[in-house]
Chain A
């Protein structure tokens, strides 16, 4: 019986999170790689690492710069998991995710920031982090009933309204947020028992084995792992099945005895909880936030993450977060690479030349020169690509990256046969 694909001898093994040995092995290896990553590369960077060697091919990921990016991926993945539960699993479109992130961030700031001219209580992380989830969840439950009454596109616009109202409140609540375009600092990832001077685990300083960003990355990874397991678990529980029933046909679900109001409210609450945690971690990790951060663009970014990753799937959401956050860097590096290729000449330069403009009288889609000139700046090119990817995925592959992965997997499952 062992080793046969898609053969399950019990309901439990069918529903288990990692239902094949391959999945277990691959996931284990990947996790081991991620955990090992920040410890390596001591020789390449300026010390502060346990190991001097770099992992082949992907060793560049262990630089402080990429570790910060990877930590950001983890934070966005946490937020996206929440939106995935609400939009992907329960089918309730929300453009208000950034509002709940903002509420979480400012809850964390209020509780965790040191006492000073601005509001702050200096409490340790084990208080402010859970609170940063609970407060948005409660607010989600308060605005929920309005949101539950409206459906579909009306809901999308109502939640969009929340973002604008939230931004107004954040801008004007200056004693908490520091005010519009000024903001306030909050760099408090250190783990303390209470308000003692020397933290239990120090994140904000380079250590002997790990750099600051390495520590932060590991911390975000742990939080992400916990929230991923919770999300995955929820999805196969009674509530998760109720969410899916509501998504597929709300009236039918109600007929079958699913309490629509209660489960929609629950989805709102849980999604806001995730959003709040992500907002708090993002602020504490980057170290400063301004009220304008929690705007519509951020909310759209989360929609893009779950759509590009594959709505309704946990692994797709994680892939989507990595994709959307890494995309600007990929576009930038790709442009630089093309630029280098043009300087060298040869075959690639023929293709690269119309894409990249390298001098004033050169035209190209992407303009790499400082200052403004004809052609998209690298950042605009990235934005255009990002918009087109959203369109492209919806038209060609509604299941997103997860769908692409499924196709690849299914192709190799039957290989060399095509059926």
Chain B
């Protein structure tokens, strides 16, 4: 009897594992085509001169980590949150980056070198982030992205010591402050500026006579940077802050979510600015709605998820009627030139790939510049990146510059959008349509940037 039970247990263990392979039936399909199958036409990459170079003589390329000229491969690391709280966003971002690099590779790569991504899932845990960085750092020439601010800050000293370039996948305003860590290539509107833009748009173009605002956010860099921007914007627009829940949202704690929702409902504010994860936003939204809140909802990009306006979602109509959001990339609807790339890779319609493509384009520019300089060491790629005067994104986002003073480089342009349930259901949009592109509010345009809006402690 007992022995039989034990064997049954063993069988089920196997069974459970087998069952898992059918998982995830309805979601995203994955990227196609592996990157390494096709070797570059010219086997000796060292002798191939870059296109924009006049010299005919073969060029020596210096390399140290992550670039293998003989194999014709450049390896780029990605520290991503694929299954944690920001999983929905980041996995699409990684898929977008992969699709873009596949396209680059198919068209000759970086001067004949194929780009390969080394992705690690950190689940948004700092310890994992540090350990995975140590694991992959000697295999990669740069970090294609590093998800999360405390996570990226934890690598600060290592990044500088290793001469490693990293693109932060977080829009903390501190990244635009070069005294914080000059190895980080910030891009897109920081949370703080995004809040200024969105609230500026709401008060000047969307709502008439809004006089009060409720602000709630996650604790930490993302939430509180966004809340700091919202407070500045509220002051500039003459809005009274009737509920201040900066840092009050705890994703794992249901009662904290309830108390924030009640706080917003009790305040009866005209605008509710909520900076949180996709999962908790829907909880706060629903509970405030149930408590009778009727104001306009707004928040930074990670608060919104197209899943809210999916056909079966109970809050579909309520969200569509009351949400206005801010973000940093163009929408699917406004970027038809990119549709083929995404659809050919077998990916479903979504707005989130473009951030991955933007990251990839920044890195591509840096790698091409480094190749032209003849120095593809980690430090060489970093130096090349910091000499880029302008990186353009083919309509996906505002241009970036990595030369000049922080205040001049600060990205002030963003996008304002509203949900689009019809487009999502019809498969013609990723669930959002923009109402303003490359928008800058007066406050954001004149904001004197001297450092992060919210100081990340120690």
Name the B residues within 8 Å of A64 (CB-CB): 134, 138
Per the CB 8 Å criterion, the residue count for chain B at the interface is 65
Contact B78 A377 (CB under 8 A): no
Q: Report A348-367 CB contacts with B as 1/0, cut-off 8 Å.
A: 00000010011110011101
> In the docked arrangement, what's the CA distance between A391 and B80, Å?
30
Name the A residues within 8 Å of B30 (CB-CB): 359-360, 367, 369, 371-374
Per the CB 8 Å criterion, the residue count for chain A at the interface is 60
Q: Does A293 contact B (CB under 8 A)?
A: yes
B103: min CB distance to chain A, Å: 15
> In the docked arrangement, what's the CA distance between A142 and B223, Å?
36
Contact B457 A380 (CB under 8 A): no
> In the docked arrangement, what's the CA distance between A367 and B94, Å?
14
A349: min CB distance to chain B, Å: 15
Name the A residues within 8 Å of B150 (CB-CB): 181-183, 288, 290
Given contacts A68-B134, A365-B21, A372-B24, are A288 and B78 in contact (CB under 8 A)? no
Identity of the chain B residue whose Cβ is nearest the Cβ of A380 in the assembled complex: B83
User: Which residues, 158 to 196 on A, are CB-close (under 8 Å) to B?
Assistant: 171, 174, 178-187
Contact B121 A69 (CB under 8 A): no
Name the B residues within 8 Å of A392 (CB-CB): 9-10, 13
B200: min CB distance to chain A, Å: 27
Q: Does A388 contact B (CB under 8 A)?
A: yes
Contact A288 B154 (CB under 8 A): yes
Q: Does B391 contact A (CB under 8 A)?
A: no
Contact B95 A179 (CB under 8 A): no
Contact B24 A117 (CB under 8 A): no
Name the B residues within 8 Å of A203 (CB-CB): none
Contact A288 B87 (CB under 8 A): no
Name the B residues within 8 Å of A179 (CB-CB): 219-220, 247, 457
Identity of the chain B residue whose Cβ is nearest the Cβ of A282 in the assembled complex: B127
Q: Does A299 contact B (CB under 8 A)?
A: no
> In the docked arrangement, what's the CA distance between A177 and B91, Å?
30
Identity of the chain B residue whose Cβ is nearest the Cβ of A120 in the assembled complex: B458
From A185, A186, A290, A363, contact of B21 by CB (8 A):
A363
> In the docked arrangement, what's the CA distance between A139 and B119, Å?
42
Contact B119 A183 (CB under 8 A): no
Q: Does B6 contact A (CB under 8 A)?
A: yes
From B87, B125, B457, contact of A117 by CB (8 A):
B457
From B16, B32, B34, B117, contact of A384 by CB (8 A):
B16
Contact B95 A370 (CB under 8 A): yes
User: Which residues, 63 to 116 on A, are CB-close (under 8 Å) to B?
Assistant: 63-65, 68-69, 72, 113, 116
From B29, B33, B135, B458, contact of A116 by CB (8 A):
B458
A121: min CB distance to chain B, Å: 14
From A69, A367, A369, A388, contact of B131 by CB (8 A):
A69
Q: Does B365 contact A (CB under 8 A)?
A: no
Given contacts A182-B456, A184-B458, A359-B32, are A372 and B138 in contact (CB under 8 A)? no
Contact B153 A213 (CB under 8 A): no
From A117, A378, A384, contact of B17 by CB (8 A):
A384
Contact B221 A360 (CB under 8 A): no
Name the B residues within 8 Å of A63 (CB-CB): 138
> In the docked arrangement, what's the CA distance between A286 and B83, Å?
22
Q: Does B218 contact A (CB under 8 A)?
A: yes
B228: min CB distance to chain A, Å: 13
Q: Does A396 contact B (CB under 8 A)?
A: yes
B79: min CB distance to chain A, Å: 12
> In the docked arrangement, what's the CA distance between A375 and B131, Å?
24
Q: Does A408 contact B (CB under 8 A)?
A: no
Given contacts A360-B30, A396-B6, are A371 and B91 in contact (CB under 8 A)? yes
User: Which residues, 393 to 416 on A, are CB-close (under 8 Å) to B?
Assistant: 395-396
> In the docked arrangement, what's the CA distance between A367 and B30, Å?
10
Given contacts A370-B80, A371-B95, A374-B23, are A360 and B31 in contact (CB under 8 A)? yes
Name the B residues within 8 Å of A228 (CB-CB): none
Contact B127 A293 (CB under 8 A): yes
Name the B residues within 8 Å of A363 (CB-CB): 21-22
Name the B residues within 8 Å of A365 (CB-CB): 17-18, 20-21
Name the B residues within 8 Å of A367 (CB-CB): 30
> In the docked arrangement, what's the CA distance between A65 and B138, Å?
9
Identity of the chain B residue whose Cβ is nearest the Cβ of A167 in the assembled complex: B252
Q: Does B25 contact A (CB under 8 A)?
A: yes
Contact A391 B9 (CB under 8 A): yes
Given contacts A359-B32, A372-B24, A373-B24, are A180 and B220 in contact (CB under 8 A)? yes
Contact B25 A374 (CB under 8 A): yes
> In the docked arrangement, what's the CA distance between A185 and B354, Å?
33
Identity of the chain B residue whose Cβ is nearest the Cβ of A289 in the assembled complex: B126
Q: Does B28 contact A (CB under 8 A)?
A: yes
Identity of the chain B residue whose Cβ is nearest the Cβ of A364 in the assembled complex: B21
From B121, B223, B457, contact of A377 by CB (8 A):
B121
Contact A118 B457 (CB under 8 A): yes
Q: Does A379 contact B (CB under 8 A)?
A: yes
From B28, B119, B219, contact of A181 by CB (8 A):
B219
Q: Does B130 contact A (CB under 8 A)?
A: yes
Contact sample, A vs B, 21 pairs, CB 8 Å cutoff: A65-B137, A118-B458, A178-B457, A179-B457, A181-B218, A182-B220, A183-B150, A185-B153, A185-B154, A286-B126, A360-B30, A360-B32, A365-B18, A370-B78, A374-B25, A375-B24, A376-B23, A379-B82, A379-B121, A396-B6, A396-B10
Nearest first, the 4 closest Cβ-Cβ pairs linking A and B are A181-B220, A373-B30, A371-B95, A288-B154
